[in-house]
Amino acid sequence: MAPFFFGKIPAIRRCGGGIQRRYHWLMTESTHAWLVLAHAHVRVPELNKLLERFDDVAAIVQQKPGELKASGLPEEKCAAIASPPAEPIAAAEEWLQQDGHEVIAFGADAYPEMLRQIPGAPLLLYVNGDVDALHLPSLAIIGSRNPTQGGLRNALEFSRHLAQQGFVIVSGLAQGIDAAAHRGALDATGKTVAFLGHGIDRVYPAVNRDLAHAIAANGALVSEYPLGSPPERWHFPERNRLISGLCLGTLVIEAARRSGSLITARLAAEQGREVFALPGSIHNPLARGCHTLIRQGAKLVETASDILAELSPLASHMKQTAEMAEPEDIAPPLGDDDYSELRRVLSHDPVTINELESQSGLTIDQLSSMLLILELHGEVESLSGGRYALSG
Amino acid sequence: MAPFFFGKIPAIRRCGGGIQRRYHWLMTESTHAWLVLAHAHVRVPELNKLLERFDDVAAIVQQKPGELKASGLPEEKCAAIASPPAEPIAAAEEWLQQDGHEVIAFGADAYPEMLRQIPGAPLLLYVNGDVDALHLPSLAIIGSRNPTQGGLRNALEFSRHLAQQGFVIVSGLAQGIDAAAHRGALDATGKTVAFLGHGIDRVYPAVNRDLAHAIAANGALVSEYPLGSPPERWHFPERNRLISGLCLGTLVIEAARRSGSLITARLAAEQGREVFALPGSIHNPLARGCHTLIRQGAKLVETASDILAELSPLASHMKQTAEMAEPEDIAPPLGDDDYSELRRVLSHDPVTINELESQSGLTIDQLSSMLLILELHGEVESLSGGRYALSG
């Protein structure tokens, strides 16, 4: 899809520098306009049509229904734009006043490039947490809501390991594999993102309330549904396209032969993303879905290294593209004292991140980011067994 | 390879009719000649060269070394033909006097077509048991000598089920998966064939002595090595080409990442045979070999039906080719009383072979063969869950 101009794109203020980027939504006239369009369920292709006739979103929401209808917009959407539901929109604007609450409009810089590419990209994303997490190399880890103990352990361990390697772990906040995937990333002090099948002001299932708070504090909760939307059954398969779409790849841990996880995996393949599946015993019914995927061409995965081998080049490319786009913004502070300290303890003999932690006084979290940066700069090599060494 | 004429091919006497064929070796001058060539380690391409100059094998063994050398045969083989080791050859001729002991020369009708096709087909096969078993659709089931209990159970169950479906189960008489594969076929009163890495007059490992006797009585022990040959280490990978070559497909149950089973699987692929592998837990080191094979293109197998789906068409083709070659010989006795009885108890409602057994008074063994024959004639359909029904 060719890039297009939205007129006034929501104003974005950048604070901080270095490798951290922060986008803040300024409550403007256009914020209100985007909320009106979102509540009218206007889709991206419909918006494109409207922007052929009107300057920007603020202009669109000032039109009469007849004017809007000339762009081919369905009648009920024209009516909804002309007479927007005041109360829910006011509630959303109030919600936006709180720390960490943001909405990101399609076409804004803060809109994740990976999602912009997919068919059916949402018009607006409601985010609670760190918008940056949506711009980092990500892996979806998904599976059954009723997994085996072994499946849970695998989800936790793969998530931990890959989060440590700098991947954002994305899932759907369901019980079972999803919850274990989020928890693994949190255990590793990595980042994790949950896409919800309901309004972002609700938590479902209720048992995951604490987990949801932890995700918002160490990543992001994201929804395309307006505040207050209930967890309708059809939202979940619809939401799955965002889980697969945001990520370079999707790993299915355990899944029955007919299950939502297989839908997500199929979407991932259609979106041109990698699909990974864990094999299991032929006597475990929850291995069947994974085996089906492997037969269909998913990559059979035994260890996290199998995933890294496929995704690291893509992740580097993603980083490099981001660097090319905004070189001054994400140039790493390679002269920092922390980097000098890390370089001091690194050598050509491979060491684990835990060894680096004890030798450097830096945290695992700091080391993970810094090693990834140094790797992208070609200074450090990531070796098997989670070990690192100076390159060359 | 174009078919060629061997001069006097070992005389073959056929007894019996119907679908059963029996080949017996008549002790003739040419038998002696073939044993001389085999003890001289003459290979099939070398024999072809010799037959360009000499009428038949009997003529070859009467030549002086100089005459033989003109065909490009290595000097030590010429010497071995001109001065054959009298004692071992006499011992082989004595061994051949016993019931069920046979040798099959390359190019004889009794030589298995599947082995004739492979590169490095043996000049002579020593057989103890039923030569017919080498002409039926076969599946190799192989794997670790130190499998898990689960692996053993899987080998036993797949072998049982596929032997019941009329497949000859082929393996290498090693401990572990091999032994379980042979036992499964015997449990199902099916046929099983073991290829040995030593002379057929020895049993190795000794713990499999009773199993070897049972295989000879319900299938065949086969070796390409002269009587008395010890189980040299290099014999086993060499022998593996015969396991894979005789079979339409090779199923690997459990195998380490570097193991003989993977060699056999690779040979199977090179020979144009199907390769099947059972997936397993990522925490089971003996699943790794199977996972490696699946990544390389082996078919992931969860149930015996997965194998039947691939092999049944090939098995039918094999049968049909055999029928076309010798129509009067394997035309099934469809008018027999037994077939009338089977047709009486069959209907369009699917039934298991056990139900047919109790209703017909026929044995499972009889029923398996008869159902396969009726299936090849299009009268019977084989359905999921090992059930059968009349076609159409």
Q: Is B349 exposed, middle or buried (0-12, 13-18, 19+ CB in 10 A)?
A: exposed
Mean pLDDT over the full length of chain A: 85
Cα dihedral A92, A98, A101, A102 sign = positive
Q: Is the pLDDT of residue A12 over 90?
A: no
Per-residue pLDDT tens over the stretch B77-129: 999 999 999 999 999 999 999 999 999 999 898 999 999 989 899 999 999 99
Using CB atoms, pick whichever of A154, A288, A300 lies closest to residue B291.
A300
Residue A372: predicted pLDDT? 65
Exposure b/e, B49-75, CB count within 10 A at least 16 = b: ebbeebebbbebbebebebbeebebee
Report the candidate in A31, A44, A37, A179 with the shortest Cα–Cα distance to residue A94. Answer: A31
Per-residue pLDDT tens over the stretch B218-239: 999 999 999 999 999 889 888 9
Q: Is A274 helix (H, G, I), strand (E, B) or coil?
A: strand
C-alpha neighbours within 13 Å on the C-beta side of residue A223: 24
Using CB atoms, pick whichever of B281, B299, B303 lies closest to residue A150.
B281
Q: How far is B284 from chain A (nearest CA, A)?
A: 9
Per-residue pLDDT tens over the stretch B119-144: 899 999 999 999 999 999 999 999 99
The CA-atom distances, in angstroms, between A210 and each of A144, A204, A219 are: 21, 11, 14
Report the candidate in A278, A55, A22, A212 with the shortest Cα–Cα distance to residue A133. Answer: A22
When pLDDT is cut at 50, 70 and 90, the band that residue B258 belongs to is confident
When pLDDT is cut at 50, 70 and 90, the band that residue A7 belongs to is very low
Q: Is the pLDDT of residue B16 over 90?
A: no
What is the average per-residue pLDDT within A59-72?
A: 93
Residue B25: predicted pLDDT? 40
B75: alpha, beta or left? (left if phi > 0; alpha if psi -120 to 50): alpha
Q: Is A124 helix (H, G, I), strand (E, B) or coil?
A: strand
Q: Which residue of B has its CA nearest to A281?
A: B280
Instruction: Indicate yes or no: CB of B291 within 8 angstroms of CB of A283.
Output: no
Q: Is A198 exposed, middle or buried (0-12, 13-18, 19+ CB in 10 A)?
A: buried
Report the candidate in B351, A18, A307 with the shortest Cα–Cα distance to residue B342. Answer: B351
> Are residues A352 and A385 in contact, defined by beta-carbon separation less than 8 angstroms?
yes
**Contacts A291 to B, Cβ<8 Å:** 279, 300, 302
Q: Is B387 exposed, middle or buried (0-12, 13-18, 19+ CB in 10 A)?
A: middle
Beta strands in chain A (DSSP E): 12-15, 22-25, 101-105, 124-129, 138-142, 168-171, 192-195, 219-223, 249-252, 274-277, 299-300, 351-352, 380-383, 387-390
Using CB atoms, pick whichever of B278, B283, B302 lies closest to residue A288.
B302
What is the average per-residue pLDDT within A177-198?
A: 97
B288 interfacial to chain A (CB closer than 8 Å)? yes
A291 interfacial to chain B (CB closer than 8 Å)? yes
Cα dihedral B189, B195, B200, B203 sign = negative
> Are residues A81 and A42 in contact, defined by beta-carbon separation less than 8 angstroms?
yes
What is the average per-residue pLDDT within A286-309?
A: 96
**Structure-model confidence comparison of residues A344 and B10, the more confident one:** A344
Q: Which residue of A has its CA nearest to B297?
A: A295
DSSP string, B337-361: HHHHHHHHH--SS-EEHHHHHHHH-
Cβ within 8 Å of residue A358, ≥6 positions away: none
| Token pair recorded at residue A22 | 């922060």
Cα dihedral B176, B179, B182, B188 sign = negative
> Are residues A246 and A134 in contact, defined by beta-carbon separation less than 8 angstroms?
yes
Question: What are the backbone angles phi and psi of residue A141, rounded to the nearest 5°?
Answer: -125, 115
| Token pair recorded at residue B67 | 């005459």
Residue B152: predicted pLDDT? 95
A149 interfacial to chain B (CB closer than 8 Å)? no
Say whether the ipTM exceeds 0.85. Answer: no
Report the candidate in B89, B55, B125, B96 with the shortest Cα–Cα distance to residue B81. Answer: B89
What is the average per-residue pLDDT within B34-56?
A: 94
Instruction: Indicate yes or no: CB of B302 within 8 angstroms of CB of A279.
Output: no
When pLDDT is cut at 50, 70 and 90, the band that residue A21 belongs to is very low
| Token pair recorded at residue A116 | 């912009």
Q: Is the pLDDT of residue B21 over 50?
A: no
Q: Which residues pair with A352 in a beta bridge?
A: A387
Size of interface A-B (CB pairs under 8 A): 48
DSSP string, A12-50: EEEE--TT--EEEE---HHHHHHHHHHHTT--HHHHHHH
> Are residues B75 and B65 in contact, defined by beta-carbon separation less than 8 angstroms?
yes
Q: How far is A293 from chain B (nearest CA, A)?
A: 11
A158/A177 Cα distance (integer angstroms): 11
Q: Is the pLDDT of residue B389 over 60?
A: yes
What is the average per-residue pLDDT within A338-358?
A: 85
**Structure-model confidence comparison of residues A303 and A23, the more confident one:** A303
Helix (H) or strand (E) holding A143: none
Q: Which residue of A has its CA nearest to B285?
A: A302
What is the average per-residue pLDDT within A355-362?
A: 86
Q: Which residue of B has its CA nearest to A299?
A: B295
Residue A284: predicted pLDDT? 94
Q: Is B250 helix (H, G, I), strand (E, B) or coil?
A: strand
**Contacts B295 to A, Cβ<8 Å:** 299-300
Q: Is A228 exposed, middle or buried (0-12, 13-18, 19+ CB in 10 A)?
A: middle
Residue A89: predicted pLDDT? 95
Report the candidate in B173, B365, B142, B357 with the shortest Cα–Cα distance to residue B255. Answer: B142
Residue B344: predicted pLDDT? 85
What is the average per-residue pLDDT within A150-163?
A: 96
When pLDDT is cut at 50, 70 and 90, the band that residue A392 belongs to is low
Q: Is the pLDDT of residue A290 over 50?
A: yes
Could you give the dihedral angle defined by the CA atoms of residues A250, A252, A255 and A257, in that order, rounded to the nearest 10 degrees? 60
